[in-house]
Structure 1
Amino acid sequence: MGLRALFSISFRPFFLMAGLMAALNPIIWVLSYLGHIDVPLNSLDTIFWHSHEMLFGFCGALIAGFLLTASANWTGSRPYQGKWLAFLLLIWGLERLAYFIPLGPSSLLINLNLFFPILLIMLLVKLWHFPKQKFVFIPLLLGFSLSSFLHTWGNLFQEAVVADYGRDLAIGLIRFIILLIAGRVIPFFSRSKISNISIDVPNWLNLLSLASVLMLAVLWNQDNLSAINLAILIIAIVSNCFRQYLWRPLATISIPILFILHIGIALINLELILRFVGIFNMRVNETNAALHLLLAGGLAVVAIGIMTRVSLGHTGRSIQADTWTKLSYLLIIIGALTRSLIPIISLQYYFTSLYVAVLFWCGGFAIFLLKYFKILIAPRPDGREY
């Protein structure tokens, strides 16, 4: 019965896998980075493994869980279930194991780049007659497929420029897809939870905020900044901060499962500001503070907010954050801020901050796994199939 419920809709297995990866991968990487353990990787080093897994493994699970669930709602069709969903999860898992199998560079390149193309095809089939969604999310998945390939190819064949561009493209696309989805769901969630709330964001502001971060994804080059890069970054900062202000985040403070999304978006806006500061402050760049504020902060905080909300709402439960859920939110936020900001403030505490950040951040996702595991493998209490 548990397997049937687990594979009844995509968010169930993929949110569990995202939580598992978030709870384990950073711990293993920090222990390896600080010399406590050896990770028996084939061909690639642990820095690539950690970055590629968080960019494409963790994010891949989040994207698959969210988009395949949402696409069934958009199209009014049955979600991918059973064998098809198990097949996609198997491909995701094989990618995670490929690092530890004795493969040649070409075979490893292929094995590390199967998931996003297959996810793309599955989503394209679902959205074929729905151009509004198709012409947004299919190009995004093409972008993720390309960035994963470039990041892997560049590292396998010692082409650092290619590897760095693949990584930076993925980072930019992650920022874009979060802000795109947030622009759709946060006003909707706010209106459904708060009576008489007025949220009016002009279309031009939505377009400007998203267009600017999309251009950053494609054009940003920290090592060779141009006046155009700088202008786009400033536009992205101003437009996205103003857009969030119009979402009225302070009105949601009393609703933690909604307010957590605002905290995540605020961290992304702060990341953009930190990138601007990094132009004039070398320590910001040397510590990768903006990168971790985006991924460990903005991405993870929005992710835990979406994961908990969807896991409750789409299993027929009340969409309320209990004490354990609130604790997971808090720990992830503390971990993200520790990882991002302590190295800027004081480099002498850098190694200590890694231990502390991992303890809190991974602990937050471990709480999610413990709290939501039974929910995600159990049938809906209202008797509905999905």
Structure 2
Amino acid sequence: MGIPRLRAYSGPAFLSYGFRPFFFLGALHAGLSVMLWLPMYTGELDAHSALVPVDWHVHEMLFGYLPAIVTGFLLTAIPNWTGRLPVQGPPLLALVVLWIAGRAAVFFSADIGWQAAAVIDVAFLLAVSAAAAREIVAGRNWRNLKVLLPLAVLAGANGAFHVEAHFQGTSDISRRLGIAAAIILISLIGGRIIPSFTRNWLVRENSGRLPAPFDRFDMASIAISVAALGAWTVIPDSSTSG
């Protein structure tokens, strides 16, 4: 289903669809983070983050870059699933500002306090989850509600990262939990949602052959992945987790 044009959008094109600001800023942040991390790691740059350089780099890739890309995709895809208008203009700008605030808060967390940095940082994923849930529920697109679960887990892992890094001096469990949530998101989006775009186009073009639909085999594969990743998160060195 295409995005309906119920009202004309006259604002900046940069804020017309979620992928425009978030894909751009996410890619920019990924490159800049590496440029900053290297001198931070060698001690040539005095970091103001409460996280050690390695943890800061891991955090910004996993909970800074990744959420930006996922958000850009979801805010663009959800209107196609639901037939509702996309999040654009001031509401989209608010999400962009919140994401940037999270990046700044983590970088200066030694100055503002790790608790304040954690609250600002986690607020972005919670806001995105709430916005996505609202649109999916309002559009009665129940089958895609499942994409919200790994997104919520990613938000929880982000908060746990700050707590674990502060009290334990490490971020091993929350890091693995975040990676696990990312893999499940990729499995859902890459294995189920993206192929549906191809299928919908072929149906519209009256193609004779259609790709195989998402079935029990795919559901079983994701379920096994969830179990394996859960074991790896909790007991990574056990033979149970492979």
Query: TM-score under structure 1 normalisation?
Result: 0.53
Structure 2 alignment gaps of length 5 or more: 1-8
1:225 corresponds to which letter in structure 2? Answer: S
Task: Provide the rounded CA distance (Å) in 2 between the counterparts of 1:142 and 1:190.
Answer: 28
User: Could you report, residue by residue, the CA deviation over 1:171-227 in whole angstroms, capped at 9, with x for unpaired residues?
Assistant: 01111111211123247438958x776643672321122112222332214643133
The question of 1:97 aligning with 2:104 is answered: yes
Q: Distance in 1 between matches of 2:48 and 2:88?
A: 33
User: In the comparison of the two structures, how many residue pairs are matched?
Assistant: 224
How far has the Cα of 1:3 moved from its partner? 6.2
| Distance in structure 2 (CA, Å) of the matches to 1:172 and 1:157 | 22
Question: Does the residue aligned with 1:112 lie in a helix, a strand or coil?
Answer: helix
Is residue 39–residue 46 contact of structure 1 (8 Å, CA) maintained in 2? Answer: no
In the other structure, the counterpart of 2:220 is 208
Q: Does 1:224 align with 2:233?
A: no
Instruction: Give the 3-state SS of the residue equivalent to 2:56 in structure 1.
Output: helix
Which residue in 2 is equivalent to 1:144?
Answer: 154
Question: Contact (CA 8 Å) 1:64, 1:119: kept in 2 or not?
Answer: yes
CA contact (8 A) 2:136 2:144 kept: yes
Is the 1:191–1:197 contact (alpha carbons within 8 Å) kept by the matching residues of 2? no
Is the CA contact 1:42–1:103 (under 8 Å) kept in the aligned structure 2? no
Which residue matches 1:48?
Answer: 55
Once residues 211 and 148 of structure 2 are traced to their aligned partners in structure 1, the CA distance between those partners, rounded to angstroms, is 29
Corresponding residue number in structure 2 for 1:15? 23
Q: Which amino acid aligns with 2:104?
A: L
Q: In structure 1, what is the Cα distance between the partners aligned to 2:73 and 2:61?
A: 17
Matches for 1:168-183 after TM superposition, within 5 Å: 168-183=176-191
Q: What is the CA distance between 1:42 and its match in structure 2?
A: 2.9
SS of residue paired to 1:220: helix
* Aligned counterpart, 1:346: none
Sequence identity (%): 27
| 1:114 and 2:141 are equivalent in the alignment | no
Whether 1:126 aligns to 2:135 is yes
Partner of 2:6: none
TM-score, scaled to structure 2 = 0.82
Mapped to 1, the partners of 2:200 and 2:186 lie a distance apart of 20
Aligned twin of 1:283: none
Q: Deviations for 1:63-96, whole angstroms, at most 9, x for unmatched residues?
A: 1101111111111011111110000000000010
Distance 2:46 2:144 in 1: 41
Question: 1:70: which partner in 2?
Answer: 77
1:1-386 counterparts in 2 under 5 A?
Answer: 4-33=12-41, 35=42, 37-98=44-105, 99-100=107-108, 102-128=111-137, 129-134=140-145, 136-158=146-168, 160=170, 163-184=171-192, 185-186=194-195, 188-189=197-198, 199-200=211-212, 203-221=215-233, 223-227=236-240, 229-230=241-242
Question: Separation in 1 of the partners of 2:197 and 2:120?
Answer: 39
